[in-house]
Structure 1
Amino acid sequence: MKTSRLEAFSDGVLAIIITIMVLELTAPTETDIYSLLAKTPIFLSYIFSFIYVGIYWNNHHHLFQITQKVNGKILWANLHLLFWLSLIPFTTAWIGENYDARLPVIAYGVVLLFCAIAYFILQSIIINSHDNEFPLRKVIGSDRKGKISIGCYILGIGCSFLNTWFGIALYVIVAIMWLIPDKRIEEKL
Protein backbone atom coordinates (compact mmCIF):
# COMPACT_ATOMS: atom_id res chain seq x y z
CA MET A 1 0.00 0.00 0.00
CA LYS A 2 1.06 3.56 -0.59
CA THR A 3 1.20 6.11 2.23
CA SER A 4 -1.11 8.76 0.73
CA ARG A 5 -4.39 7.68 2.40
CA LEU A 6 -2.70 7.27 5.79
CA GLU A 7 -1.10 10.71 5.47
CA ALA A 8 -4.37 12.38 4.41
CA PHE A 9 -6.31 10.78 7.26
CA SER A 10 -3.63 11.71 9.80
CA ASP A 11 -3.48 15.29 8.54
CA GLY A 12 -7.26 15.52 8.92
CA VAL A 13 -7.20 14.18 12.47
CA LEU A 14 -4.42 16.57 13.46
CA ALA A 15 -6.34 19.49 11.93
CA ILE A 16 -9.40 18.50 13.97
CA ILE A 17 -7.28 18.27 17.13
CA ILE A 18 -6.05 21.83 16.61
CA THR A 19 -9.59 23.00 15.82
CA ILE A 20 -10.92 21.46 19.03
CA MET A 21 -8.19 23.16 21.03
CA VAL A 22 -8.93 26.60 19.58
CA LEU A 23 -12.67 26.13 20.13
CA GLU A 24 -11.92 25.54 23.81
CA LEU A 25 -10.59 29.10 24.03
CA THR A 26 -13.32 31.38 25.30
CA ALA A 27 -13.26 35.14 25.38
CA PRO A 28 -13.44 36.83 28.77
CA THR A 29 -16.92 37.93 29.82
CA GLU A 30 -15.59 41.31 30.96
CA THR A 31 -13.86 43.83 28.71
CA ASP A 32 -11.03 44.98 30.97
CA ILE A 33 -7.35 43.99 30.74
CA TYR A 34 -7.52 42.04 34.00
CA SER A 35 -10.13 39.69 32.58
CA LEU A 36 -7.92 39.13 29.56
CA LEU A 37 -4.83 38.57 31.70
CA ALA A 38 -6.75 36.02 33.76
CA LYS A 39 -6.96 33.92 30.55
CA THR A 40 -3.16 33.89 30.12
CA PRO A 41 -2.60 30.34 31.48
CA ILE A 42 -5.32 29.00 29.17
CA PHE A 43 -3.84 30.78 26.16
CA LEU A 44 -0.31 29.62 27.04
CA SER A 45 -1.47 26.01 27.36
CA TYR A 46 -3.07 26.34 23.91
CA ILE A 47 0.13 27.75 22.37
CA PHE A 48 2.22 25.04 24.00
CA SER A 49 -0.11 22.26 22.84
CA PHE A 50 -0.34 23.77 19.36
CA ILE A 51 3.46 23.61 19.18
CA TYR A 52 3.41 19.98 20.33
CA VAL A 53 0.80 18.98 17.73
CA GLY A 54 2.85 20.88 15.14
CA ILE A 55 5.97 18.96 16.12
CA TYR A 56 4.14 15.65 15.72
CA TRP A 57 2.64 16.74 12.40
CA ASN A 58 6.05 17.79 11.10
CA ASN A 59 7.80 14.60 12.24
CA HIS A 60 4.92 12.44 10.97
CA HIS A 61 5.20 14.17 7.58
CA HIS A 62 8.94 13.50 7.39
CA LEU A 63 8.48 9.93 8.58
CA PHE A 64 6.03 9.13 5.80
CA GLN A 65 8.04 10.95 3.14
CA ILE A 66 10.74 8.35 3.63
CA THR A 67 8.38 5.38 4.22
CA GLN A 68 8.08 3.28 1.08
CA LYS A 69 5.14 1.06 1.97
CA VAL A 70 2.32 0.71 4.48
CA ASN A 71 0.86 -2.48 5.95
CA GLY A 72 -1.78 -3.31 8.57
CA LYS A 73 0.66 -3.04 11.47
CA ILE A 74 1.67 0.45 10.39
CA LEU A 75 -1.98 1.49 10.03
CA TRP A 76 -2.78 0.31 13.58
CA ALA A 77 0.37 1.87 15.01
CA ASN A 78 -0.58 5.15 13.34
CA LEU A 79 -4.10 4.96 14.83
CA HIS A 80 -2.50 4.31 18.22
CA LEU A 81 -0.50 7.53 17.84
CA LEU A 82 -3.57 9.48 16.69
CA PHE A 83 -5.53 8.21 19.72
CA TRP A 84 -3.01 9.67 22.16
CA LEU A 85 -2.71 12.89 20.18
CA SER A 86 -6.50 13.22 20.25
CA LEU A 87 -6.35 13.47 24.06
CA ILE A 88 -4.20 16.61 23.91
CA PRO A 89 -7.19 18.99 23.70
CA PHE A 90 -8.67 17.52 26.88
CA THR A 91 -5.47 17.78 28.90
CA THR A 92 -4.73 21.20 27.39
CA ALA A 93 -8.05 22.56 28.65
CA TRP A 94 -7.52 20.94 32.06
CA ILE A 95 -3.96 22.16 32.59
CA GLY A 96 -4.89 25.64 31.29
CA GLU A 97 -7.49 26.02 34.02
CA ASN A 98 -5.43 24.24 36.70
CA TYR A 99 -1.72 24.66 35.91
CA ASP A 100 -0.81 24.63 39.59
CA ALA A 101 -2.79 21.49 40.45
CA ARG A 102 -0.94 18.20 40.51
CA LEU A 103 -3.35 15.88 38.66
CA PRO A 104 -3.90 18.03 35.52
CA VAL A 105 -0.13 18.53 35.11
CA ILE A 106 0.48 14.81 35.60
CA ALA A 107 -2.32 13.93 33.16
CA TYR A 108 -0.83 16.29 30.57
CA GLY A 109 2.55 14.62 31.02
CA VAL A 110 1.05 11.13 30.76
CA VAL A 111 -0.60 12.03 27.45
CA LEU A 112 2.67 13.49 26.15
CA LEU A 113 4.50 10.36 27.33
CA PHE A 114 2.10 8.02 25.56
CA CYS A 115 2.25 10.16 22.40
CA ALA A 116 6.03 9.75 22.44
CA ILE A 117 5.77 6.01 23.08
CA ALA A 118 3.20 5.63 20.30
CA TYR A 119 5.44 7.55 17.89
CA PHE A 120 8.40 5.36 18.88
CA ILE A 121 6.29 2.24 18.23
CA LEU A 122 5.11 3.57 14.85
CA GLN A 123 8.65 4.41 13.83
CA SER A 124 9.89 0.97 14.93
CA ILE A 125 7.15 -0.87 13.05
CA ILE A 126 7.88 1.14 9.90
CA ILE A 127 11.59 0.31 10.17
CA ASN A 128 10.87 -3.39 10.79
CA SER A 129 8.48 -3.48 7.82
CA HIS A 130 11.27 -2.53 5.43
CA ASP A 131 14.55 -4.18 4.46
CA ASN A 132 17.95 -3.66 6.08
CA GLU A 133 18.87 -0.97 3.55
CA PHE A 134 15.83 1.18 4.43
CA PRO A 135 17.23 4.73 4.88
CA LEU A 136 15.16 5.45 8.01
CA ARG A 137 16.94 2.61 9.84
CA LYS A 138 20.26 4.42 9.38
CA VAL A 139 18.85 7.90 10.00
CA ILE A 140 17.18 7.03 13.31
CA GLY A 141 20.03 4.91 14.63
CA SER A 142 19.60 4.45 18.37
CA ASP A 143 17.00 7.29 18.48
CA ARG A 144 18.70 9.00 21.39
CA LYS A 145 16.46 12.08 21.08
CA GLY A 146 13.29 9.95 21.28
CA LYS A 147 14.55 8.04 24.31
CA ILE A 148 15.64 11.23 26.08
CA SER A 149 12.15 12.66 25.46
CA ILE A 150 10.47 9.64 27.03
CA GLY A 151 12.83 9.87 30.00
CA CYS A 152 12.08 13.59 30.44
CA TYR A 153 8.33 12.94 30.36
CA ILE A 154 8.66 10.25 33.03
CA LEU A 155 10.85 12.56 35.12
CA GLY A 156 8.39 15.44 34.57
CA ILE A 157 5.47 13.31 35.72
CA GLY A 158 7.42 12.27 38.82
CA CYS A 159 8.54 15.84 39.57
CA SER A 160 4.95 17.04 39.26
CA PHE A 161 4.15 15.17 42.46
CA LEU A 162 6.56 17.53 44.22
CA ASN A 163 6.03 20.74 42.27
CA THR A 164 3.96 21.24 39.12
CA TRP A 165 6.39 23.82 37.75
CA PHE A 166 9.18 21.22 37.61
CA GLY A 167 6.99 18.97 35.48
CA ILE A 168 5.90 21.82 33.21
CA ALA A 169 9.55 22.90 32.81
CA LEU A 170 10.54 19.42 31.66
CA TYR A 171 7.65 19.30 29.16
CA VAL A 172 8.83 22.66 27.78
CA ILE A 173 12.41 21.39 27.52
CA VAL A 174 11.28 18.43 25.41
CA ALA A 175 9.31 20.72 23.09
CA ILE A 176 12.35 22.99 22.67
CA MET A 177 14.51 19.96 21.97
CA TRP A 178 12.18 18.92 19.13
CA LEU A 179 11.84 22.45 17.76
CA ILE A 180 15.55 22.40 16.95
CA PRO A 181 15.54 21.16 13.35
CA ASP A 182 16.69 17.61 12.76
CA LYS A 183 17.92 17.43 9.18
CA ARG A 184 18.66 13.69 9.17
CA ILE A 185 15.49 12.61 7.35
CA GLU A 186 15.38 15.61 5.01
CA GLU A 187 18.91 14.80 3.88
CA LYS A 188 17.81 11.27 2.91
CA LEU A 189 14.84 12.41 0.78
Structure 2
Amino acid sequence: MNTNRLEAFSDGVIAIIITIMVLEIKVPHGETLDALIPLIPVLLSYVLSFIYVGIYWNNHHHFMHMVHNVNGRILWANLHLLFWLSLIPFATGWMGENHIGAVPVALYGLILFMCSVAYAILVSAVLRLQGQDPKLAAAVGRDYKGKISTILYLVAIPLAFVNQWISIALYVTVAIIWFLPDRRIEKVLVD
Protein backbone atom coordinates (compact mmCIF):
# COMPACT_ATOMS: atom_id res chain seq x y z
CA MET A 1 0.00 0.00 0.00
CA ASN A 2 1.25 3.49 -0.71
CA THR A 3 1.22 6.29 1.84
CA ASN A 4 -1.38 8.61 0.27
CA ARG A 5 -4.32 7.62 2.46
CA LEU A 6 -2.23 7.54 5.63
CA GLU A 7 -0.93 11.05 4.93
CA ALA A 8 -4.37 12.42 4.03
CA PHE A 9 -5.98 10.91 7.13
CA SER A 10 -3.18 12.18 9.37
CA ASP A 11 -3.39 15.67 7.89
CA GLY A 12 -7.15 15.71 8.50
CA VAL A 13 -6.85 14.57 12.11
CA ILE A 14 -4.13 17.11 12.83
CA ALA A 15 -6.23 19.89 11.28
CA ILE A 16 -9.13 18.87 13.54
CA ILE A 17 -6.83 18.87 16.59
CA ILE A 18 -5.79 22.45 15.86
CA THR A 19 -9.40 23.47 15.27
CA ILE A 20 -10.51 21.97 18.58
CA MET A 21 -7.74 23.82 20.41
CA VAL A 22 -8.72 27.21 19.02
CA LEU A 23 -12.42 26.59 19.69
CA GLU A 24 -11.58 26.02 23.36
CA ILE A 25 -10.48 29.66 23.68
CA LYS A 26 -13.49 31.53 25.01
CA VAL A 27 -14.13 35.06 23.80
CA PRO A 28 -13.87 37.47 26.75
CA HIS A 29 -16.75 39.65 27.89
CA GLY A 30 -15.59 43.21 27.62
CA GLU A 31 -14.15 45.44 24.98
CA THR A 32 -10.94 46.58 26.61
CA LEU A 33 -7.54 44.94 26.56
CA ASP A 34 -7.99 44.27 30.28
CA ALA A 35 -10.60 41.67 29.33
CA LEU A 36 -7.81 39.63 27.73
CA ILE A 37 -5.66 39.43 30.87
CA PRO A 38 -7.46 36.39 32.35
CA LEU A 39 -6.95 34.63 29.01
CA ILE A 40 -3.16 34.93 29.05
CA PRO A 41 -2.55 31.39 30.45
CA VAL A 42 -5.04 29.97 27.94
CA LEU A 43 -3.41 31.80 25.05
CA LEU A 44 0.10 30.79 26.11
CA SER A 45 -0.99 27.14 26.42
CA TYR A 46 -2.59 27.36 22.98
CA VAL A 47 0.52 28.85 21.36
CA LEU A 48 2.78 26.16 22.84
CA SER A 49 0.41 23.38 21.80
CA PHE A 50 -0.08 24.82 18.32
CA ILE A 51 3.70 24.81 17.89
CA TYR A 52 3.90 21.20 19.12
CA VAL A 53 1.15 19.98 16.81
CA GLY A 54 2.81 21.89 13.98
CA ILE A 55 6.15 20.26 14.75
CA TYR A 56 4.60 16.80 14.67
CA TRP A 57 2.77 17.56 11.43
CA ASN A 58 5.93 18.97 9.83
CA ASN A 59 8.13 16.04 10.83
CA HIS A 60 5.43 13.49 9.96
CA HIS A 61 5.07 15.12 6.55
CA HIS A 62 8.83 15.03 5.88
CA PHE A 63 9.21 11.50 7.19
CA MET A 64 6.32 10.10 5.15
CA HIS A 65 7.94 11.45 1.98
CA MET A 66 10.72 8.96 2.66
CA VAL A 67 8.30 6.05 3.05
CA HIS A 68 7.47 4.10 -0.10
CA ASN A 69 4.73 1.84 1.24
CA VAL A 70 2.91 0.95 4.45
CA ASN A 71 1.53 -2.14 6.12
CA GLY A 72 -0.91 -2.79 8.96
CA ARG A 73 1.77 -2.30 11.62
CA ILE A 74 2.58 1.17 10.27
CA LEU A 75 -1.12 2.08 10.05
CA TRP A 76 -1.64 1.10 13.71
CA ALA A 77 1.54 2.89 14.78
CA ASN A 78 0.32 6.02 13.00
CA LEU A 79 -3.08 5.74 14.71
CA HIS A 80 -1.26 5.37 18.03
CA LEU A 81 0.56 8.65 17.36
CA LEU A 82 -2.68 10.38 16.33
CA PHE A 83 -4.39 9.15 19.51
CA TRP A 84 -1.81 10.86 21.72
CA LEU A 85 -1.80 13.99 19.58
CA SER A 86 -5.59 14.13 19.89
CA LEU A 87 -5.24 14.45 23.68
CA ILE A 88 -3.20 17.65 23.38
CA PRO A 89 -6.31 19.89 23.15
CA PHE A 90 -7.66 18.46 26.42
CA ALA A 91 -4.37 18.97 28.28
CA THR A 92 -3.95 22.40 26.71
CA GLY A 93 -7.39 23.52 27.84
CA TRP A 94 -6.97 22.09 31.33
CA MET A 95 -3.56 23.69 31.74
CA GLY A 96 -4.74 27.09 30.51
CA GLU A 97 -8.00 27.15 32.44
CA ASN A 98 -6.20 26.28 35.66
CA HIS A 99 -3.46 28.89 35.26
CA ILE A 100 -0.62 26.46 34.58
CA GLY A 101 -1.34 24.32 37.66
CA ALA A 102 0.99 21.48 38.66
CA VAL A 103 -1.24 18.49 37.81
CA PRO A 104 -2.34 19.83 34.39
CA VAL A 105 1.29 20.68 33.54
CA ALA A 106 2.38 17.16 34.53
CA LEU A 107 -0.42 15.62 32.44
CA TYR A 108 0.60 17.83 29.51
CA GLY A 109 4.14 16.48 29.85
CA LEU A 110 2.89 12.91 30.04
CA ILE A 111 0.96 13.39 26.80
CA LEU A 112 3.99 14.97 25.12
CA PHE A 113 6.11 12.06 26.36
CA MET A 114 3.63 9.57 24.91
CA CYS A 115 3.58 11.48 21.61
CA SER A 116 7.35 11.13 21.42
CA VAL A 117 7.17 7.42 22.22
CA ALA A 118 4.41 6.92 19.65
CA TYR A 119 6.46 8.75 17.00
CA ALA A 120 9.46 6.52 17.80
CA ILE A 121 7.24 3.45 17.43
CA LEU A 122 6.06 4.72 14.03
CA VAL A 123 9.63 5.26 12.89
CA SER A 124 10.55 1.78 14.13
CA ALA A 125 7.62 0.21 12.24
CA VAL A 126 8.66 1.98 9.04
CA LEU A 127 12.28 0.92 9.45
CA ARG A 128 11.19 -2.65 10.07
CA LEU A 129 9.33 -2.67 6.74
CA GLN A 130 11.81 -0.60 4.74
CA GLY A 131 14.99 -1.01 6.76
CA GLN A 132 17.05 -1.97 3.74
CA ASP A 133 16.60 1.50 2.24
CA PRO A 134 19.95 3.22 2.93
CA LYS A 135 18.51 6.70 2.37
CA LEU A 136 15.80 6.12 4.97
CA ALA A 137 18.25 4.69 7.50
CA ALA A 138 20.60 7.65 6.92
CA ALA A 139 17.73 10.13 7.31
CA VAL A 140 16.62 8.62 10.62
CA GLY A 141 20.14 8.22 11.94
CA ARG A 142 20.50 7.91 15.71
CA ASP A 143 17.71 10.42 16.43
CA TYR A 144 19.48 12.29 19.21
CA LYS A 145 16.84 15.01 19.18
CA GLY A 146 14.10 12.46 19.76
CA LYS A 147 15.97 10.82 22.62
CA ILE A 148 16.82 14.13 24.27
CA SER A 149 13.20 15.27 23.94
CA THR A 150 11.89 12.11 25.57
CA ILE A 151 14.31 12.49 28.48
CA LEU A 152 13.36 16.15 28.96
CA TYR A 153 9.67 15.21 29.10
CA LEU A 154 10.41 12.53 31.70
CA VAL A 155 12.31 15.07 33.79
CA ALA A 156 9.62 17.74 33.38
CA ILE A 157 6.71 15.57 34.55
CA PRO A 158 7.76 15.19 38.22
CA LEU A 159 9.28 18.70 38.22
CA ALA A 160 5.78 20.07 37.63
CA PHE A 161 5.06 19.25 41.28
CA VAL A 162 8.14 21.19 42.40
CA ASN A 163 7.78 24.20 40.10
CA GLN A 164 5.53 24.00 37.06
CA TRP A 165 7.37 26.87 35.35
CA ILE A 166 10.52 24.72 35.16
CA SER A 167 8.45 22.09 33.37
CA ILE A 168 7.01 24.68 31.02
CA ALA A 169 10.57 25.90 30.32
CA LEU A 170 11.59 22.32 29.45
CA TYR A 171 8.58 21.95 27.12
CA VAL A 172 9.52 25.22 25.43
CA THR A 173 13.12 24.02 25.14
CA VAL A 174 12.02 20.86 23.34
CA ALA A 175 9.80 22.92 21.04
CA ILE A 176 12.78 25.13 20.20
CA ILE A 177 14.92 22.04 19.48
CA TRP A 178 12.31 20.77 17.01
CA PHE A 179 11.08 24.07 15.59
CA LEU A 180 12.82 23.52 12.26
CA PRO A 181 12.22 20.31 10.31
CA ASP A 182 14.83 17.63 10.63
CA ARG A 183 17.50 18.56 8.08
CA ARG A 184 18.63 14.95 7.68
CA ILE A 185 15.39 14.08 5.94
CA GLU A 186 15.37 17.23 3.81
CA LYS A 187 18.95 16.53 2.75
CA VAL A 188 18.13 12.97 1.72
CA LEU A 189 15.01 14.12 -0.17
CA VAL A 190 17.10 16.61 -2.17
CA ASP A 191 19.88 14.11 -2.99
TM-score w.r.t. the length of structure 1 is: 0.96
Farther off after superposition, 22-31 or 87-96: 22-31
Q: Is the 8 A contact 1:99 1:105 kept in 2?
A: no
User: What is the aligned length?
Assistant: 189
Tell me the distance in 2 between the aligned counterparts of 1:24 and 1:45: 11
| Alignment check: 8 A CA contact 2:138 2:184 kept | no
Shift of 1:143: 1.0
Verify: 1:49 aligned to 2:46, yes or no.
no
1:129 deviates by: 0.8
2:123 maps to 123
RMSD of aligned C-alpha atoms? 1.1
Q: Which residue of 1 aligns with 2:26?
A: 26
More divergent stretch after superposition (126-135 vs 60-69): 126-135
Q: Which residue of 1 aligns with 2:184?
A: 184
CA contact (8 A) 1:99 1:164 kept: no
Match of 2:58 in 1: 58
Q: Distance in 1 between matches of 2:40 and 2:55?
A: 22
Query: Deviation string for 1:89-117 (max 9, x for gaps)?
Result: 00000111123421100000000000000
CA distance, structure 2, for counterparts of residue 21 and residue 56 of structure 1: 15
Deviation at 1:62, TM superposition (A): 0.6
What runs of 5+ residues in structure 2 fail to find an aligned partner?
Answer: none
Classify the secondary structure of the residue corresponding to 2:17: helix
The answer to whether the 8 Å contact 2:59/2:181 transfers is no
- In 2, the alpha carbon distance for the partners of 1:91 and 1:120 equals 21
Any unmatched runs of 5+ in structure 1?
A: none
Q: Provide the secondary structure at the position in 1 that maps to 2:81.
A: helix
TM (normalized to structure 2)? 0.95
* SS of 2:170 mapped into structure 1: helix
> What are the within-5 Å matches in structure 2 for residues 140-155 of structure 1?
140-155=140-155
Partners in 2 of 1:106 and 1:118 — Cα distance? Answer: 18
The equivalences for 1:5-24 within 5 A come to 5-24=5-24
Distance in 2, matches of 1:101 and 1:41, equals 10
8 Å contact 1:127–1:134 — kept in the other structure? no
Identity of aligned residues (%): 56
